[in-house]
Amino acid sequence: MSQFAATSARRGRALLLLGALVLLGGCTRGTSDLRDWVAQEHAKKGAPIPPLPVIKTFETFEYKDQEQRDPFSPSTAELQPSNASGPRPDENRPKQPLEMFALDSLKMVGTVGAGGGMEVLVKDPGSVIHRVHRNEYMGQNYGRVVAIADDHIDLVELVSNGNGGWMERSASIALGEK
């Protein structure tokens, strides 16, 4: 039986080698079809390439006013406070509760009293209602209440004019506005 097993093993190896050669033989059919396809692809014309954009040439400019004032620097007049005698906020007075809120976040909800003793009711963003009289302050731009009517409050704010000074600006809050 050992001779039979050895012969059987040789036959098995021979069949395996023969099968591998047949499989490899099928893979070497040739590369002529691949070469034909590559030749066809090379023969095709590609899409045209768009032309390069025309580069614009710009004229050079020579700045000849070197002795003149630099237009990007403030002038001496702009550096000096122009409104030294104009309105200024009183930095020494104590801040009032409604000065911590932007004016557009406050809402007039009503009035109390009549005539010169009229008070206005103002709601802040936290829904707290404050009583405000004439000459009291509200808003973040030093807004002073100058008039109280049944349907609105008139204020005068102090805003920076950009030159180190201050200017007055009128503002108002209408009843139920927001």
Q: What is the pLDDT of residues 111-122, one digit of tens each?
A: 888 777 789 999
Burial 26-45 (b: 16+ CB within 10 A, else e): eeeeeeeeeeeeeeeeeeee
CA dihedral 64, 68, 74, 78 (to 10 degrees): -150
Sign of the four-CA dihedral 77, 78, 84, 87: positive
The pLDDT of residue 85: 66
pLDDT tens-digit series, residues 88-105: 888 888 999 988 999 889
Looking at the predicted structure, is the pLDDT value of residue 62 above 80? yes
Among 111, 97, 102, CA closest to 176? 111
Q: What is the mean pLDDT of the chain?
A: 83
Residue 45: φ, ψ to 5°: -90, 135
CA–CA separation, 145 vs 78, rounded Å?
31
Per-residue confidence band for 138, with pLDDT thresholds at 50, 70 and 90: very high
Q: In what order do the strands lie in the sheet with 129-132?
A: 107-112, 119-123, 129-132
Burial 70-85 (b: 16+ CB within 10 A, else e): eeeeeeeeeeeeeeee
What is the share, in percent, of the chain residues with pLDDT greater than 70?
89
pTM of the model: 0.52
* Tokens of residue 154, six digits: 């008139």
Looking at the predicted structure, is the pLDDT value of residue 64 above 70? yes
pLDDT tens-digit series, residues 18-51: 888 777 766 656 778 888 888 888 888 888 889 9
Distances (CA, A) of 67 to 64, 74, 75: 8, 16, 14
Residue 47: φ, ψ to 5°: -65, 145
Per-residue confidence band for 178, with pLDDT thresholds at 50, 70 and 90: very low
Among 107, 82, 100, CA closest to 177? 107
Per-residue confidence band for 154, with pLDDT thresholds at 50, 70 and 90: very high
Q: For residues 108 and 176, is the Cβ–Cβ distance under 8 A?
A: yes
Per-residue confidence band for 145, with pLDDT thresholds at 50, 70 and 90: very high
The third-level CATH classification (topology) of the domain covering 97-174 is SH3 type barrels. (2.30.30)
The pLDDT of residue 84: 59
